[in-house]
Amino acid sequence: MTATITQVGFSQESFDAFLAARDEPQWLLDLRRQCWDAYTALPMPGGRDEEWMRTDIRLFRLDKFAVPGDLPADAVCPPAQLSEGVELAGQATTLNSRSLFAQLDPKWAAKGVLFGSLEEIVREHGELIRPHLMTRAVDPRKDKFAALHGAFWTGGFVLYVPKGVAVAEPFHMLSAMTDGGVDLGHALVILEDGAEATALAETASDSETATGLHCGAIELIVGREARLRYVNLQDWGHGVWHFAQQNALVDRDASIQWTIGALGSRLAKVNQHVALVGLGAEAQVNGVVFTEGKQHLSYHTLQHHRAANCRSDLLYKGGLQDKSRFVWRGMIKVDPAAQKTDGYQRNDNLMLSTDARSDSIPGLEIEADDVRCTHGSTSGRVDDELIYYAQARGLTRNEAVRLVVTGFFQQVFDRITIESVREALGHAIRRRVREVE
Amino acid sequence: MTDTLKITNLHVAVEGKEILRGVDLTLRRGETHALMGPNGSGKSTLGLAIMGHPNYEIVDGTIELNGENITEWEPHERARAGVFMAFQRPMSIPGVKMADFLRHATTNVRRPERKEDEELLPMREFRKELYEKMDQLKINRDFARRYVNDGFSGGEMKRAEILQMAMLRPKFAILDETDSGLDVDAVKLASQSIAEIGRSKMGILIITHHDKLLEHNRPDVTHVMLGGRIVETGGAELAIEMHKHGYDRVRREHPEDAAVENEMKKEEAAV
């Protein structure tokens, strides 16, 4: 096991010490060094950058955090929400970026499936991982946070499904964090041609008010004719800074259904990109967002059509309460080669308070001439007449509001094919909704 | 004692403008009353005010249920006390299935003391009853899985309102233009439904300016509204007269109220 490092901040010294203590293949150490160089060269993003102009991180102090060290003596792993009552093919948990445990049903191991801690599996199966790790999906030079992640990532998860293997039961991954902790986890999913799998990933803090830093990445590599259903539920404590690059590559005739739940964190700045790189690839992206208090969640989605005859369909639904803010910046990008593209994106937001604010900015960038791309966005408040109608049927105002909010999210729940996910998200939202002003 | 819904000297204003100018009406359980009057005379306003619509400000007067003053009650408290209104324009609630909505509503109305986090009626039991009622009302069972009033035709909405009434079994029901948008057969069906639910078990206030629904639900009492007041009260024959000859006689005999009606119309036109 890796030696423990307790260094303050992310400095050259702490990086050198970190690197010296890693027991990793040379190529990975080299990759970390390149990322560290990129990190030192890149500026901290700010209000002048198009992507960050709506997301103010001036209060963020990176020097308050450090490379994850020993777990606090009283560390408790919060419970998972997505796996209850679900028969799983595998299960893995990290706490503060440290692998707590991982297990894989032997019947799938026998078929060549790999599942568990990325930092452990990369040591044994480096050559399998190497072509995919931050080479094709996530670019660790994208910005300072991506580079920091590339240099310092620890723990993490990997799911590898060999060619033609279809795993019936879902895999479950929990990234947990203690109050004030740091998570630099990386999730890598590789489905070889014709493989099928479902993965349920979630994040959690040990309390709703917990602070911390998550600087992470998700890479989903979906081979030809492969099928992936991926869920990530972000439910960090409301003091957590959340920076993430989450990218999928979908090859010929393959499909992905990607559902994100965005509930937690103090501030989130996430890039969720889906690249359709092979003919006939398909992506369905579902977003369930609920913000409250002073949360600021910013999700930048990209549906990148790089090959012809691909379909992408994105629906993000947001509920905003209190003084929270949700930014959605969506882009459908169609390369010149991507003829016969069918692209759709939509974001609907329900404002539950007059102090909440949503920025919903759809965009199209189309370089092919035979495509169909449409987008839409709405933002509205809960209709008082609707509340009255439900009240006239015996529902209290609270019940009426919850009902209307539940109904609002139903359209996206209808698209989510995994019951435990629908239930967990529905429950979380119902629990959060308070009386509307 | 017979359940009684008593409206006394009710004055109601919307956005500061007085729409009802002193309405008195007493409805007993088992009675059917017709409320007639030209457009804009305040019929729907009376219904919505009885049901506690927040935009309808009660400036003066009282609404009493069995002697208890419910004027300040929240709409859901009125519903749980047994007051129901079939709306002229029911709201659609996208994403909420009719069955789920009604199960919640039915539980609350049947268990008025239910707290927000307490159990709903058992699904099986509820569904069985709902299907029975739907079959009775010749409503396709698919209705239960559709979102509340979402994409419903006018007629479907009205039938859904009757279905809700059948499930909630109120003591008092206000039917606001429930017959408009329904064809002759549908009106017959709605009337039968009302009869099946039991006219004798409810006090019914039928708001209409047609006589279709009244044909099958002969009113014990007819009220005629004009300019925000009930200006005449009579028996079934008054409803027939209004339907046949219109409101000209009433206007002639109540010139002050007719003047108010004119005034209101002018203001509306100016807006």
What percent of chain A has pLDDT above 90?
Answer: 90
**Residue B189, pLDDT score:** 77
Query: DSSP for A151-206?
Result: HH--S-EEEEE-TT-B--SPEEEEEEE-TTEEE--EEEEEE-TT-EEEEEEEEEES
Q: Please tell me the distance from the alpha carbon of residue B148 to that of residue A15, in angstroms, as a whole number.
A: 59
B88 CB within 8 Å of a chain A CB = no
Residue A320 has pLDDT above 80, yes or no: yes
Residue A271 — very low, low, confident or very high, per pLDDT cuts 50/70/90?
very high
Tell whether A263 is covered by a domain: yes
Closest residue in A to B98 (Cα) is A407
The residue type at A406: T
Q: Which of B55, B85, B95 sits opposite A410 (nearest CB)?
A: B95
| Cβ contact A391–B108 (<8 Å) | no
Report residue A3's pLDDT band, with 50, 70 and 90 as the boundaries. very low
Cβ burial, residue B15 (10 Å; 0-12/13-18/19+): exposed
Closest CA to A426 of A436, A414, A437, A435: A414
Q: What is the ipTM, given to two decimal places?
A: 0.95
Average pLDDT, stretch A125-135?
97
CA distance A181 to A157: 18
Residues A392-436 pLDDT 10s: 999 999 999 999 999 999 999 999 989 999 999 999 898 888 765
Rounded to an integer, the average pLDDT of A296-314 is 98
Distance, CA of A305 to CA of A266 (rounded, Å): 32
Contact A401, A387 (CB under 8 A): yes
Closest CA to B139 of B108, B110, B107, B164: B164
What would the pLDDT profile of A69-120 be if each residue is shown by its tens digit? 888 888 889 999 999 889 999 999 999 999 999 999 999 999 999 999 999 9
Give, in order, the Cα–Cα distances in Å from B76 to each of A390, B3, B33, B81.
8, 19, 24, 9
Q: Rounded CA gap, A145 and A135, in Å?
A: 17
Substitution target in B96, B111, B145, B150 with the highest count of A β-carbons within 10 Å is B96
B96 and A CB contact within 8 Å: yes
pLDDT at A437 over 60: no
Structure tokens of A84? 């209850």
Would an 8 Å CB–CB cutoff place B164 in contact with chain A? yes
Determine contact: B90 vs chain A, CB below 8 A. yes
Residue A383 counted as domain residue: no
Residue at A32 is within a domain:
yes
Minimum CA–CA partner of B85 in chain A: A392
Six-digit token string for A361? 């900015």
Q: What mean pLDDT is reported for chain A?
A: 95
Mutation pick from B91, B97, B168 vs chain A, by most beta carbons of A within 10 Å, is: B91
Establish if A6 belongs to a structural domain. no
From chain A, pick out residues whose CB is under 8 angstroms from the CB of B104.
394-395, 399, 403
What residue type is B9 in one-letter code? N
Domain assignment present for B194: yes
Interstrand relation of B221-226 and B32-36 (parallel, antiparallel or unpaired): parallel
What was the pLDDT predicted at B193? 77
pLDDT for A2 beyond 50: no
Q: Contact at 8 Å (CB) between A344 and A374?
A: yes
| Mean pLDDT within B61-86 | 97
What average pLDDT does this structure show over A279-300?
98
With a CB cutoff of 8 Å and minimum separation 6, the contacts of A17 are: A5, A7
Tokens of A89: 């093919």
Domain hosting residue A231, numbered range = 12-278
Minimum Cα–Cα distance from A413: chain B residue: B95
Q: Which two tokens stand for residue A366?
A: 């189309």
Q: CA A342, CA A21: separation in Å to the nearest integer?
A: 49
Tell whether B108 is within 8 A of chain A (Cβ).
yes
Residue A7's pLDDT is 45
Inter-chain CB proximity A388 and B116 less than 8 Å: no
CB pair distance less than 8 Å for B164 and A393: yes
Summarize pLDDT for A348-363 with one digit per residue, the tens. 999 999 999 999 999 9
Instruction: Assess whether pLDDT exceeds 70 at residue B79.
Output: yes
Please give the pLDDT value at position A9: 81
Count the domains in chain B.
Answer: 1
Counting residues of chain A whose pLDDT is more than 70, the rounded percentage is 97
Q: Residue A436's Cα: distance from chain center in Å?
A: 29
Highest-scoring range by mean pLDDT, A341-345, A383-387, B165-169: A341-345
Domains identified in chain A, total number: 1
Phi, psi (rounded to 5 degrees) for A36: -60, -40
Is residue B10 situated within a structural domain?
yes
pLDDT-derived band at B195 (thresholds 50, 70, 90) equals confident
CB count in 10 Å sphere of residue B186 = 20
Phi, psi of A308 (to 5 degrees): -75, 160
pLDDT digits (tens, 9 = 90+) for B26-56: 999 999 999 999 989 999 999 999 999 999 9
Is the pLDDT reported for residue B216 higher than 90? no
Cβ contacts of A393 on chain B, cutoff 8 Å: 76, 79, 101-102, 105, 108-109, 164, 168
Look at residue B178 in the predicted model and tell me its pLDDT. 85
Interior angle at CA A400, CA A397 and CA A402, nearest 5: 110
- Specify the 3-state DSSP secondary structure of A387: helix
Residue with tokens 């129901």: B84
Q: Are B49 and B254 in contact (CB under 8 A)?
A: no
Query: From CA A371, how far away is CA A355, in angstroms rounded?
Result: 39
**Cβ contacts of B164 on chain A, cutoff 8 Å:** 393
Looking up residue B256, the CATH number of its domain turns out to be 3.40.50.300
| Helix, strand or coil, per DSSP, at residue A349 | strand
Any domain includes B112: no
Report if residue B64 sits inside a domain.
yes
Buried b (16+ CB within 10 A) or exposed e, A62-81: beebbbbeebeeebebbebb
Domain annotation covers residue A345 = no
Amino acid identity for residue B186 in this structure: A
Question: pLDDT digits over A209-226, tens only?
Answer: 999 999 999 999 999 999
Report the distance separating Cα A310 and Cα A75, nearest Å. Answer: 46
pLDDT band for position A296 (50/70/90)? very high
